[in-house]
Amino acid sequence: MSTATQNLSGAPAAEERLSPSEREERAMSEFAHHFGAYTATNLESCIHCGMCADACHFYIATEDPKYTPILKAEPFKQAYRRESGAFAPFYKLLGLKKKVTVDELEEWQELLFDSCSQCGRCSLICPMGIEVAEMIEIGRRGMAAAGLAPKALMDRARHQAETGQPEESEKPYPEVLREIGKEHDLEVKLDKDKADILVCLPRTDLDQNPESVAAMIKIFDRLGADYTFRSDALIAENYGYYAGSRGLQKRITSRITDAAKKLGASLVIVPECGHAYTALRWQAAEILGERLPFRVRHVTEFLAEQLEAGKLKLSKVNGDTFAFHDPCQLVRKGGIMDAPRQLMDAMDVDLREMHNKKGFSFCCGGGGGVNDLESAKDLRNRAQTMKLREIDDTGAKRFLTSCSDCRVSFNEAGENQDWNKKTESLIELVATQIKE
C-alpha cells in the first residue's frame, strides 16, 4: 500500500477502509448536519440564471457547462431535496430524487476540488445572494467524511495535524527558518516563552521564497515588535480546510491558537496567505467553539494600522509601474482591499489597476488546494491564461500580490506560458522601503 493511503504510523487511514455504503452514509450524515433554514434559503433561491458561470474563471476558460459553480454543489443539493426540502416526501415516494451514491460522489471530486479554488466570486455575483462557494465547501466536507477527498490534500492535512508540517522536508521548517535568518544576517526570534505577537509563515515561502520570510523578520524588527515564531505553530496554511476535513482543520487550527494562548499573545499575524487568513480569522472560533482571546490580522492589515499610527515610515518607490493582484480570500471573504493600497500609496507606487480589481478580482487559479493537485494542472493552466492577459493589459512593468499561494500559481503559469513578469511580494517591497 502506498504512503498516500496510510497515516504516519503506517496503518491505512480509516477512510480508506470504508465500504461504498459506509461512504454514502458518511457523506449524507455530513450533508444533513447543514440542513436547515439557511441551507433552504440558499438552495431554494436559485433561479438558474447562469450568472455564477460567467463569474467563474474555470467556466470562462473552458466554456464547459459542467464547471458552472452551482452545479458543483449538486450532490449536496440532491441530498437536501430528498431528505429535507419542502417536497422531500414526494421526491422519495415518486423516486424523483435518488440517494447520493458513491459513483456520483467520485464523479464530483473533480468539480469540487480540481475546478474550484473557493474564490467566492460566484457568491458575489449571484443576484439572489446565494452563498454558492459555501455550498461547495459543504460538498467538500461530505467528500472528506466519505474518504473521497483527494489523497494529495488529505495526506498533507494528516501530516500537518500530527507534525505541524504538511509534508516531509529535507530539513524541519524551524531549521529552515534559522538558516534564512543566518543567510540574511537576521536574528530569528523563535520559541520565546512570552510575546505579544505570534507570527506564522507560509510553507511555500519557506520552500520557495525565503526573501519574503526575511522581509517579515526585517519589518517586525524595525517596528520593535514583541513577537515570536513558534516551532509548533509555524505554518500558516491549513490543509484540513483545503481537504474539507473539519476534524483535521480543527487540530491544525488548535496548534496556532494553543501556542498563542501559551504566549499570552494579543495578536496573531497571518502572513501573505489568503486561505490561512480565512481559516484562522473567520472559521477558528466557530470550529473550536470558543471566542479567541486574541486578534487575528493579515500582515497587510497590521502594517496599514502601523502606518496610520505613525509607527511605520516608508520611502518612495521611483520609476516603475506596478500591477497588483487582490487575493480572493482577502478581498471577498475578508474585505482587505484598502490596506495593501494604503501601503502602496505610502510608497508612492505608480499602480495600474486591473479591470477586475478589489472584490471583483479574478482568482489566480490555484487557491483552495488546487495548486497541490496534479490532476488539476491542465485546467489550472487554462484558467490562469485569462488572468495573465489582464495583468499585461495594465501595461505595468512589475507585478505584486500579497498571497504566497497566488505567487506560486502565477510563477507556474509564467513558466508554462512563457510569461515575462516575475511575481513579487508586497511585503518584500515594504521591507526594502522601510525607513530606519
CB 373 within 8 A of CB 338: no
0.75 exceeded by pTM: yes
pLDDT band at residue 2 using 50, 70 and 90 as cut-offs: very low
pLDDT band at residue 11 using 50, 70 and 90 as cut-offs: very low
CB 155 within 8 A of CB 165: no
Q: Which of 81-90, 131-140, 210-219 shows the lowest per-residue confidence on average (mean pLDDT)?
A: 81-90
Q: Which of 22-26, 55-59, 76-80, 375-379 shows the lowest per-residue confidence on average (mean pLDDT)?
A: 76-80
Closest CA to 275 of 111, 428, 406, 424: 406
pLDDT at 243 over 50: yes
Q: Which of 6-10, 308-312, 373-377 shows the lowest per-residue confidence on average (mean pLDDT)?
A: 6-10
What pLDDT, on a 0 to 100 scale, did the predictor assign at position 417? 87
The domain ranges of the chain are 14-149, 155-308, 321-433
pLDDT at 401 over 80: yes
Q: Which of 9-23, 58-72, 190-204 shows the lowest per-residue confidence on average (mean pLDDT)?
A: 9-23
Q: What type of residue sits at position 215?
A: A
Q: Across the strands, what pairs with 425?
A: 401
Q: Which of 61-70, 75-84, 213-222, 279-288 shows the lowest per-residue confidence on average (mean pLDDT)?
A: 75-84
Establish how many alpha carbons lie within 13 A of residue 37's alpha carbon, considering only the half-sphere containing its beta carbon.
0
pLDDT band at residue 297 using 50, 70 and 90 as cut-offs: very high
Q: What is the mean pLDDT of residues 48-67?
A: 94
What pLDDT, on a 0 to 100 scale, did the predictor assign at position 78? 79
Taking the C-alpha atoms of residue 218 and residue 188, their distance in angstroms, rounded to an integer, is: 10
pLDDT at 369 over 50: yes
pLDDT band at residue 199 using 50, 70 and 90 as cut-offs: very high
CB 297 within 8 A of CB 269: yes
Tens digit of pLDDT for each residue in 302-352?
Answer: 999 999 999 999 999 988 999 999 999 999 989 999 999 999 999 999 999
Architecture of domain 14-149: Orthogonal Bundle (1.10)
CB 237 within 8 A of CB 163: no
Instruction: Please count the other Cβ atoms lying within 10 Å of the Cβ belonging to residue 348.
Output: 13
What pLDDT, on a 0 to 100 scale, did the predictor assign at position 226? 98
Closest CA to 253 of 200, 314, 300: 200
What pLDDT, on a 0 to 100 scale, did the predictor assign at position 13? 65
pLDDT band at residue 100 using 50, 70 and 90 as cut-offs: confident
Q: What is the mean pLDDT of residues 210-237?
A: 97
C-alpha cell at 396: 505595468
CB 247 within 8 A of CB 15: no
What pLDDT, on a 0 to 100 scale, did the predictor assign at position 14? 66
Q: Which residue has the cell 422519495?
A: 92
C-alpha cell at 387: 488572468
Buried b / exposed e along 188-215 (16+ C-beta atoms within 10 A): bbeeeeebebbbbbbbbbbeebbbbbbb
Of all residues in the chain, what percent carry a pLDDT higher than 70? 95
Tens digit of pLDDT for each residue in 424-433?
Answer: 999 999 999 9
Q: Which residue has the cell 484558467?
A: 383
Q: Tell me what the pLDDT averaged over the chain comes to.
A: 91
